[in-house]
């Protein structure tokens, strides 16, 4: 996986396609409005038509301005809605990822990260779930080793106090072996 392959490739294609469709739809609605609002006759003869054009000039300019402003507002609204819906498919998972990271720092490795079906960064969830599984296992190994070593230390102390040097030596060797195992586990943790 490359570092930038977090968001599905279809995300940008869908976003651009929907934006273009909204602009085209807005233009068609504006053109339809213009066509139906300008459907009135302006005269029977050429002279009447020329005379009426000068009268309609202001009205045509005003209606055209309304149409273009309407087209612009409709396009901006549609693009804003598409932007919100599409960014929600990334921001929502990022919020859940932040909560999962907080749980990981608290040592809760068994909480899988799940995204909605239409969220765009499923590869990130897979990577974090894999991370949690691997480091959860290592965390548990370290914890078990430390607990075993604490028990061995108490047993070593009791053997020394009882004067059992052979048992103490055997326990010390067992502790040294566990320390080597712990070093191997800790060496596998990369920060």
**pLDDT tens digits for the chain (191 residues)?**
454 455 666 777 777 888 888 888 888 887 777 777 666 566 677 777 677 767 777 777 777 777 788 888 888 888 888 888 878 877 888 888 888 888 888 888 887 777 777 777 777 778 888 888 888 888 888 888 889 889 988 998 898 889 998 988 998 898 888 888 888 878 877 65
Asked if residue 178 lies in contact with residue 152, where contact means CB atoms within 8 angstroms, the answer is: yes
Asked if residue 30 lies in contact with residue 68, where contact means CB atoms within 8 angstroms, the answer is: yes
From residue 90, alpha-carbon distances to 4, 80, 83, 99, 119 in Å are: 14, 16, 11, 15, 6
Beta-carbon contacts of residue 141 (< 8 Å; ≥ 6 apart): 185
Task: Give CA–CA dist 97/115, Å, rounded.
Answer: 9
10-64 pLDDT per residue, tens: 777 777 888 888 888 888 887 777 777 666 566 677 777 677 767 777 777 777 7
Q: What is the pLDDT of residue 3?
A: 46
Asked if residue 171 lies in contact with residue 157, where contact means CB atoms within 8 angstroms, the answer is: no
Mean pLDDT, rounded, of the chain: 79
DSSP structural state of residue 121: -
Task: Give CA–CA dist 92/120, Å, rounded.
Answer: 10
pTM: 0.52
b/e map of 163-173 (b: 16 or more CB within 10 Å)? eeeeebeebee
Tell me the three state secondary structure of residue 109. coil
| Run of H or E including 10 | helix 10-37
Going 69 to 71 to 74 to 79, the CA torsion angle's sign is negative
Q: 142 — phi, psi (to 5°)?
A: -65, -45
């Amino acid at each position: 996986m490359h570092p930038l392959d977090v968001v599905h490739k279809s995300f940008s294609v869908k976003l651009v396609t929907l934006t273009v469709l909204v602009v085209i739809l807005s233009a068609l609605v504006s053109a339809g409005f213009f066509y139906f609002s300008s459907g009135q006759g302006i005269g029977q003869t050429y002279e009447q038509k020329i005379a009426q054009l000068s009268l309609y000039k202001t009205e045509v300019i005003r209606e055209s301005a309304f149409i273009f402003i309407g087209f612009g507002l409709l396009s901006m609204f549609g693009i804003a809605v598409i932007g919100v819906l599409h960014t929600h498919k990334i921001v929502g998972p990022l919020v859940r990822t932040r909560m999962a990271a907080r749980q990981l720092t608290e040592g809760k490795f068994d909480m899988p990260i799940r995204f909605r079906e239409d969220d765009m960064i499923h590869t990130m969830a897979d990577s974090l779930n894999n991370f949690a599984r691997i480091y959860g296992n290592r965390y548990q190994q370290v914890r078990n080793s430390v607990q075993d070593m604490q028990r061995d230390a108490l047993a070593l102390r009791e053997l020394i106090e009882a004067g059992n040097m052979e048992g103490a030596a055997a326990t010390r060797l067992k502790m040294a072996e566990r320390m080597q195992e712990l070093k191997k586990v800790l060496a596998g943790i990369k920060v």
